[in-house]
Amino acid sequence: MGTSDLDWSALDLSKNPVPGGKSAIDRLASQFSANGDRCHDVSHSITSACGKAPDFKGDSAKQLQQSLSQVAQFAGRLSDVCEDIEQALRSWGSAVDTSQQTAYKDCQRAMDLRDSIAQNQKKLDQAKQTLKTNSDNLKKVMQTNGDSMSRETNRLLGVINSTTESITHYQGLVADDKGEIKRLKGEVSWVREQYKDAAKKTKQNLDECVDKATAKATQLNILNNAFTVGDFLSGGFESLSGIAELMKADPALIEGLKTAGLIGDELAGDWLGPIVGGLIEGGNLVAPATKTTGNLVQAASKAADTAAKVGAFGCIVGGIADYFGTYYARKEAYGQQAATQDAVAHGLITATTGFAGASSGAAAGAFVGSIVPGLGTIVGAGIGLAVGYLGAVAGNALYDNSVNRGNGDDMWDHMRDNLW
């Protein structure tokens, strides 16, 4: 029997007290489950590909591995959340189904009883009418014949007796049916309470899923922001790859820079080192390069390009370091949103001014170094550091002063606060 055939007024209800469709709920649960499987696949694929940890060497590679790991964890978390949603909905579907099995059966039974009451009520009414008719006839017969008992009088008395018994019988049936309907109403009311309890529990479970999904999302948003700040990181790693290959090609250069203390294995963590390293490379590599190519201008250009690559990487690392430093320093004091905003602003300002400093320093170093090897190093380093360092300090101070966050009450305080 379809739900549309049920008449809930048989239980004095205006509508279905336990609405819902298990098949529709299960279908929805399956869709969440399928999305969970997809997230699980992403998580599993990244985790298995990323699992060979010893193959990730160097700070930047570790950072990549960490980022991949975060994405894998987040995908895994979403997969768990989808599974929780699926479970909550399937439990709800089962609760709906159980409630409906009882409520629908009771409603059908109440409808049958209502029909039975109507039929018995009709017979009851007919019996009452018969009783009235025969009582009237008896009265007339007795008026005609007096008190003497005639054959007709006896017949009418017999009919009246049997009709009275019928009335009692039908009244009993109607009362029993009404009693049963009352019991069914009580049962459906109890089922409705069970249904509401199940709904409350399902709502609670689903709301918890929202919290679970949100918890890890903040972490991933930071990751996404870090990766998409002006696409610098992508460009940074491109430079990085180039630098790494150049280093492989010219180990003597690397050893020299290391000996001078300008770069080290902590290259990614020291953003000034690569900039200075780039400037020195721009100034000092020109002389041997001219011997090879015999073309001074071309060599200077090549050296400047290489230096700019090194410097670009350094300023990006500096920007990212400033991003995370600002975020964690301000998260507690100003809240997550303000800290993220400040972190992005500081990261961009530091990266941009660092890039300007590195580029101008490298170009100056390459040009002067092509004429007077050695002097270019000093000139380039001076220009690069001045533009990169002072520009970042002034830019960050100006920003902090405008949003009135960070340590200090005026521009000069913010300048001092942003000095490294």
Partner 1 sequence: MVDFSVDYGQLGDMSRTLNQADKNWESEVHNIDVDSAQGENGLGDDSVADSTNRVNDNLKQRLSNLQQSVHVLNRFIESVTMQTSNVDDKLSVEIEKRQ
Q: DSSP secondary-structure letter at 409?
A: S
Q: Which of residues 382-411 bind partner 1 (CB under 8 A)?
A: none
Q: Quick one: angle between helices 336-371 and 391-403, nearest 10?
A: 160
CA distance 330 to 350: 17
Handedness of CA 176, 181, 183, 184 (dihedral sign): positive
Binding of partner 1 by 244 (CB under 8 A):
yes
CB atoms within 10 A of CB 296: 13
Site mask for partner 1 (CB under 8 A), range 348-387, x = bound: ----------------------------------------
**Residue 280 · residue 377 · CB < 8 Å:** yes
User: Which residue in the set 5, 7, 9, 49 belongs to the binding site for partner 1 (CB under 8 A)?
Assistant: 49
Q: How far is the CB of 380 from partner 1 (least distance, A)?
A: 22
Can you tell me whether residue 261 is helix, strand or coil? coil
Q: Which of residues 169-198 bind partner 1 (CB under 8 A)?
A: 195-196
Site mask for partner 1 (CB under 8 A), range 78-117, x = bound: x--xx--x---x--x---x---------------------
Q: How far is the CB of 65 from partner 1 (least distance, A)?
A: 8
* 302: exposed, middle or buried (Cβ count in 10 Å: 0-12, 13-18, 19+): middle
Q: How far is the CB of 35 from partner 1 (least distance, A)?
A: 5
**CB within 8 Å of 113: residues ≥ 6 apart:** 10, 177, 180, 181, 184
Residue length of the chain? 420
Q: Which is nearer to partner 1, 211 or 410 (CB)?
A: 211
Of 114, 137, 103, nearest to 20 by C-alpha is: 103
Binding of partner 1 by 326 (CB under 8 A):
no
Q: Which of residues 266-325 bind partner 1 (CB under 8 A)?
A: 267-268, 292-293
HSE, side-chain direction, 13 A CA sphere, residue 153: 12
Binding of partner 1 by 53 (CB under 8 A):
no
User: Which residue in the set 113, 160, 167, 233 belongs to the binding site for partner 1 (CB under 8 A)?
Assistant: 233
Binding of partner 1 by 16 (CB under 8 A):
yes
Q: Quick one: angle between helices 232-249 and 251-259, nearest 10?
A: 100
Q: Which is nearer to partner 1, 111 or 233 (CB)?
A: 233
Binding of partner 1 by 9 (CB under 8 A):
no
Number of residues that bind partner 1 (CB under 8 A): 83
Binding of partner 1 by 217 (CB under 8 A):
yes
